[in-house]
Structure 1
Amino acid sequence: MASLTPPRAPQKPVVRSHHGHDVVDAYEWLRDKEDPEVIAHLEAENAYTAEQTDHLAALRETIFEEIKNRVQETDLGVPVREGSWWYYSRTAEGKQYGIHCRAPISGPDDWTPPAIAADRAAEGEQVLLDGNVEAEGHDFFSLGSFDVSADGTRLAWAVDTTGDERYLLRVRDLETGRDLDDRVEDTAPGAVFDATGEWIFYPTVDEAWRPDTIWRHRVGTTGDDVVVMTEPDERFWIGVGLTRSRQYLLIEMGSKITSETWLLDATHPTGEFRVVWPRREGVEYEVEHAVIAGSDRLLVVHNDGAENFELVDVPADDPTSTTDRQVVVPHSASVRLESVDAFAGHLVVEYRREALPRFSVVPLGPDGIGEPVEVEFDEPLFSAGASGGPEFAQPTVRFVHTSFTTPSTVVDLDVRNGERRVLKRQVVLGDYDSADYQQAREWATAADGTRIPISLVWRRDAVRVGEPAPLHLYGYGSYEHSIDPGFSVARLSMLDRGVVFAVAHVRGGGEMGRAWYEQGKTLSKKNTFTDFVDVADHLIAEGRTSPELLVAEGGSAGGLLMGAVANIAPERFAGIVAAVPFVDALTSILDPSLPLTVIEWDEWGDPLHDPEVYEYMASYSPYENVREGATYPRILAVTSLNDTRVLYVEPAKWAARLRDVGAPVLLKTEMSAGHGGVSGRYESWRERAFELAWLLDVLGRA
């Protein structure tokens, strides 16, 4: 059978004009996914990718089986107490989706999660929702809302069966197991009951897929929903929630740089919300209700005059007071304060120091707030953070600890005596031994002198430090999102084949504080790309790897990073995986009619109205900067047809332009998925096996 030739999308040039520049775009026609020619082109790309990777079929199956055989397929999460029930999810061998269950508590003082067997129902267990049943007849299934009323009698749940992030909201009677007649189409994730269980508050989105309106729905009615609040500013998202104390409903609004919170007494759900702090451009804050020394207080984490944020305590009935206000956690230039959780007897404060997430427990007593105690871990690299817990009165802190070598571990810390109780450690079947692997932190020096942290992990007996080894370098670097050390079953298939895994903690992320983020956004965005190249250069110079043994990966905004470094330094890498990549950034950010564009102007700048931003983005946007004559590494671009965040057209156009200059590029499009890719766990394992097999092939380890 003759080999397929690389698909060549026909050129249909259109001209865009902005700020005196005329840009010819030959592949913008690929945006119309209703056009049969577009679908035919994507299917041709898929066929070509399938043929070009056919020789990896056995390796893909081997890696899939390795992942599957390391996972305890019949398993369950650690139960979480809420009201009179322990809530948990279980998985069953051969089933794609989780099964959401609950079992009754033994009494009001029962704070010890029950030991429930993974392979059989607990005493009194009730199945609230079986994702496998609800997914029947659908190629895609995703829950967007899942909230149980305070009295435990009703479930609000919402499902997306196409991947476009529009959810059908339903209400289930948990005493009968039947769904009520309530049906609300096209909601956004995040519906919640009020404290009475009589009302549901839920968000909807505008035409740009921005959550912009909060509605109130009375359970048992249809068609009479009331708009509670609408956010007209196109830069802002809106969401709704209930405080852990169940004393207040909250509506939160936020752009990339500004936020505002409104409160309502939860016992009067049809009343009027009141603002906590009126919004001020550039001021971000989050609110938590606490009862301190018998008084209702609001704990506010904010950045007003505090770049890395501080925590203040203000009266709930007068939050703007300057006389009755105290600083609980002061600003620090070296510590990025992130959040606070309030419980009846303690607070949990989360923060980031030296590129690692950490947390402290702060006791609450009759005299007020005590001294914080940091929870420590004996590893050079780790991630640790509180996992919340819905019960205000709980005397324990539930937290999760993990690292590159430590499987995810759920622990309850007893605030009264400091004792830790390991509730569950992620089961890794087979012969996994954390002592076989080593993790380390290194620092690269950027061209401007900035020190860039690098996290690494490798198998001790498969890599000789000082000898170049195959190395898989991952990066993101946007939205102040941090890539923290974490365990991955799938990654073991690479480590056991002698591949070193590394994370470049480049600017634009949040690893080193707010300034780290500011130095990698808008008119400083190129620092993200040059930092990644400088990290690659450091790893090569230190003898960790070599260009022919170095592959890179990033997704979404990290896919933009991949596209940029492919243009800047194609000779540094043997291969690049770009997942749902934001590679046609300038075109997208120029068009306010596209989903989420206006919201993104605070992150990238506004090229539509600002010539300087236009020039700057035009100088790095991957699609515009594909280089004629450059020797590109092998590139695999993965996308989804129904993605509403990074549209499939971006990698489709990018691949077409790369192919014009002879770059060895493959494009793989999931034809029934969204931004997160395929939805079932087995399908997601197969997708990851596909990507890892391709990377191993590039590295000569297939």
Structure 2
Amino acid sequence: MQVIKQEILPPKAEKIAKELTIHGDTRIDNYFWLNDRENPKVIEYLKEENDYNEKMTAHTKQFQHKLFEEMKARIKEDDTSVPYKLNGYWYYVRFETGKNYPIYARKKESLEAEEQILFDCNKMAEGHSYFKLTGISISPNNKLASFGIDTVSRRKYTIQVKNLETGEILPTKIETTTGSSTWANDNKTLFYTRKDEKTLRSDKIYQHILGEDPSKDMLVYHEKDETFNAYVYKSKSRKYIIIGSSSTMSDEYRILDADHPREEFKLFQKRERGVEYGIAHYKHHFYVLTNKDGATNFKLMKTPVENTTSNNWEEVIPHQKDVLIEDVDIFEHYLVLTERFQGLNRIRIMRWDEQEDYYLPFDNETYTAYTGNNPDFETDILRYGYNSLTTPASVIDFNMKTKESEVRKEQTVEDPTFQKENYISERIWATAEDGTKIPISLVYKKGLEKSGNNPVLQYAYGSYGHTTDPSFSTSRLSLLNRGFIFAISHVRGGEYLGRNWYEDGKLLQKKNTFTDFIDCSKFLIQEKYTSAKHLYAFGGSAGGMLMGGILNMAPQLYNGVIAAVPFVDVVTTMLDDSIPLTTGEYDEWGNPNNREYYEYMKSYSPYDNVIAQDYPNILVTTGFHDSQVQYWEPAKWVAKLRELKTDKNILLFHTNMEAGHGGASGRFEALKEVAEDYAFFLDLEGISE
């Protein structure tokens, strides 16, 4: 097999030196020319790489198909979500056998009532290789629905409105939006967010009046600071239209009585750098979740609706050093807090009259619990979700008054051989080079021995404070059943152990994310879970940057690595403020126009640090229309790796010419991409069925 592979020659990208100079430092970028998506030579190169990938993986095509069918067979095809009630209707989403896309439907008052189909995305997707519907918003009188559609995967949505009584889609088309919109209480005024055509930053909020020409829509807010994004929504109490504006480090809100949409928005509390806050309305107060005054893990405050500036904020739940408050749900009689303590989710329920204050009980170390869709204000029922690395996802309705639980749905695994008792999960702790303990969540099949010969797939993300919680996956069973251990490294840069965990993995501490992952790898090898010959790594987007980092820093630890839509050309991208998302990222990575950040960034940027050394087997994937990580970052990185690497290991690059950051849009099409990834790892292990 290896001999055949060597006969197929990989593409060679042309080298055209470009000098990039700043702070008196010059970088030579030989593959800068790949940035031009209109250049036929660029398209030709991407097609050559795709062709090479096809030839190199031809021997696994049958196996990929088998994996795809196996994963697809575990999914209940004719599936329905648990209905939720909003304003007199029960809403739900369902799938039909053999169909790729969801059907959105509702029933009036009772679940026995006749079904009304709002949107059949299978019909709407016909003729499109990519289709995404988002932002369904129902008018207060239940007669209209606004919605957003993207058929390119560039995250530029067109908003339209459907008359739910006649089924007619109105002629209104509002282009280049986020897809989300919200109705005022008059049933004819719609507020929505437009994106900048070039940078795709959400920067303008408009007011549209039904029946009028969208080109005459009134601009009600323009966010001029390029590090902020703007958005608009309605409070759960349905009393206020709220404009939010957020950056990594601070927030600002404006509020408007939803009964009076022609009036002006009122500033809630002006932005202060370093002060984050979020707001929720209840009766005569707004509740404010904030890190103000050094509350790193956030505290809850309240303020009267007529006096919202921070000098009026009163403390409700104080800051705690070891408990991160992640979210707040407000009901008529209850306040519900989602917390994180020692890495684990907690749900705290408190009555407004202070008669009760208690936690929902959870009992292991590798679970995920979260509050679900709770749009109804006047209810005692809290809907929450629960799953673990070994337990399929459940949707549970908990009566906060009687404390009775009803499991409304447990995810069906359409596999008669599946029993959750056959899998084991655990949480172990590696020690980082600076002495910090790094948690790892593991899952594997029962009976596994720590021989050092088990294949391990190690995953992490580690940026933006995003926490990868240990959750169940039906497709992952295809790896576990073939002897793989799946490991999530909860590295710094996420928020698994509170807000400081995030702060210690960003800006001038970013390298902690890479070294934590490497130290977890060393620990898994040391504890005989695996060896370098059987250790694999996977990460996507900012997690793909992590893969680029570990490949440069410790390539000898891994047999194979997949980097999906990887952010690898960190310095050049962060110096180009015309690229979508760049300016809003300065608080995450630093602004390289500042020399200190430039030098630090340059010291870890995967593309800038490719050197002549042996690298493991690598698969890189991207989408041509990706608006978050442009296709040329992985393209340039692969070209440079091909030029410099000194090994005979395989390096594959696959560009989905039809998709963006999220990959394929259909539920089964996306599984084909998972099958491609899994076949790559399994093939390296010599597993072919």
Residue 644 (1) aligns with residue 618 (2) = no
Q: Is the 8 A contact 1:315 1:321 kept in 2?
A: no
Moved more, 369-378 or 469-478: 369-378
Q: Distance in 1 between matches of 2:676 and 2:240?
A: 47
For 1:15, which of 14, 19, 22 is the aligned residue?
19
Residue 6 (1) aligns with residue 6 (2) = no
Q: Distance in 2 between matches of 1:370 and 1:696?
A: 56
Partner of 1:230 in structure 2? 222
Partner of 2:193 in structure 1? 203
State the TM-score, normalizing by the size of structure 2. Answer: 0.97
Q: Is the 8 A contact 2:147 2:179 kept in 1?
A: no
For 1:336, which of 310, 318, 324 is the aligned residue?
324
Deviation at 1:123, TM superposition (A): 3.8
Matches within 5 A, 1:565-584: 565-584=550-569
The amino acid of 1:171's aligned partner reads: V
| CA distances 1:490-520 after superposition (whole Å, capped 9, x unpaired) | 1000000000000010000110111110110
Q: Is the 8 A contact 1:11 1:26 kept in 2?
A: yes
For 2:640, which of 657, 662, 670 is the aligned residue?
657
Q: Secondary structure at the match of 2:269?
A: coil
Partner of 1:84 in structure 2? 88
The amino acid of 1:298's aligned partner reads: F
The amino acid of 1:513's aligned partner reads: G
The amino acid of 2:82's aligned partner reads: V
Q: Secondary structure at the match of 2:169?
A: strand
Matches within 5 A, 1:207-606: 207-222=198-213, 223-291=215-283, 296-305=284-293, 306-320=295-309, 322=311, 325-365=313-353, 369-430=354-415, 431-461=417-447, 463-606=448-591
The amino acid of 1:198's aligned partner reads: K
Q: Distance in 2 between matches of 1:156 and 1:74?
A: 26
Q: Which runs of 5+ in 2 are unaligned?
A: none
Q: Is the 8 A contact 1:6 1:48 kept in 2?
A: yes
Q: Distance in 1 between matches of 2:210 and 2:374?
A: 26
Q: Secondary structure at the match of 1:191?
A: strand
Q: Is the 8 A contact 2:86 2:375 kept in 1?
A: yes
Q: Secondary structure at the match of 1:170?
A: strand
For 1:681, which of 654, 667, 672 is the aligned residue?
667
Residue 152 (1) aligns with residue 142 (2) = yes
Deviation at 1:467, TM superposition (A): 4.4
Q: Secondary structure at the match of 2:41?
A: helix
Q: Is the 8 A contact 1:249 1:263 kept in 2?
A: yes
Q: Is the 8 A contact 1:550 1:699 kept in 2?
A: no
Deviation at 1:364, TM superposition (A): 2.1
Residue 624 (1) aligns with residue 602 (2) = no
Q: Secondary structure at the match of 1:655?
A: helix
Q: Secondary structure at the match of 1:558?
A: helix
Q: Is the 8 A contact 1:341 1:388 kept in 2?
A: no
| CA distances 1:128-181 after superposition (whole Å, capped 9, x unpaired) | 001111111111001232111121100101100011111111000000111112
Q: Distance in 2 between matches of 1:362 and 1:520?
A: 33
The amino acid of 2:137's aligned partner reads: D
| CA distances 1:218-252 after superposition (whole Å, capped 9, x unpaired) | 11222321111010000000110001110111111
Q: Distance in 1 between matches of 2:140 and 2:358?
A: 32
User: Would you identify which runs of 4 or more consecutive aligned residues in structure 1 move more than 4 Å?
Assistant: none
The amino acid of 1:270's aligned partner reads: R
Q: Secondary structure at the match of 2:216?
A: coil
Structure 1 residues 613, 70: CA separation in 2 closer, same or farther (over 3 Å shift)?
A: same
Partner of 1:109 in structure 2? none
Deviation at 1:353, TM superposition (A): 1.1
Q: Is the 8 A contact 2:158 2:179 kept in 1?
A: no
| CA distances 1:358-415 after superposition (whole Å, capped 9, x unpaired) | 21111123xxx45431111122211101113211112200000011111110000011
The amino acid of 2:177's aligned partner reads: T
Partner of 2:678 in structure 1? 692
Deviation at 1:348, TM superposition (A): 1.4
Query: What is the count of residue pairs matched by the alignment?
Result: 677
For 1:45, which of 39, 42, 49 is the aligned residue?
49
Deviation at 1:93, TM superposition (A): 1.2
Q: Is the 8 A contact 1:192 1:242 kept in 2?
A: yes
Q: Distance in 2 between matches of 1:358 and 1:142?
A: 33
| CA distances 1:573-612 after superposition (whole Å, capped 9, x unpaired) | 000000000011111001111111110001000002x111
State the TM-score, normalizing by the size of structure 1. Answer: 0.95
Q: Is the 8 A contact 2:84 2:373 kept in 1?
A: no
Q: Is the 8 A contact 2:532 2:557 kept in 1?
A: yes
Deviation at 1:321, TM superposition (A): 6.3
Q: Distance in 2 between matches of 1:246 and 1:466?
A: 59
Q: Distance in 2 between matches of 1:559 and 1:262?
A: 36
Residue 55 (1) aligns with residue 54 (2) = no
Q: Distance in 2 between matches of 1:263 and 1:371?
A: 32
For 1:96, which of 73, 96, 100 is the aligned residue?
100
Deviation at 1:325, TM superposition (A): 4.5
Partner of 2:163 in structure 1? 173
Q: Which runs of 5+ in 1 are unaligned?
A: 107-113, 115-121
Residue 666 (1) aligns with residue 657 (2) = no
For 1:67, which of 71, 79, 85 is the aligned residue?
71
Q: Is the 8 A contact 1:358 1:383 kept in 2?
A: no
Q: Is the 8 A contact 2:147 2:180 kept in 1?
A: no
| CA distances 1:655-680 after superposition (whole Å, capped 9, x unpaired) | 00000023531100000111100101
Q: Secondary structure at the match of 1:618?
A: helix
The amino acid of 1:591's aligned partner reads: D
Partner of 1:163 in structure 2? 153
Q: Is the 8 A contact 1:96 1:682 kept in 2?
A: yes
Q: Is the 8 A contact 2:328 2:337 kept in 1?
A: yes
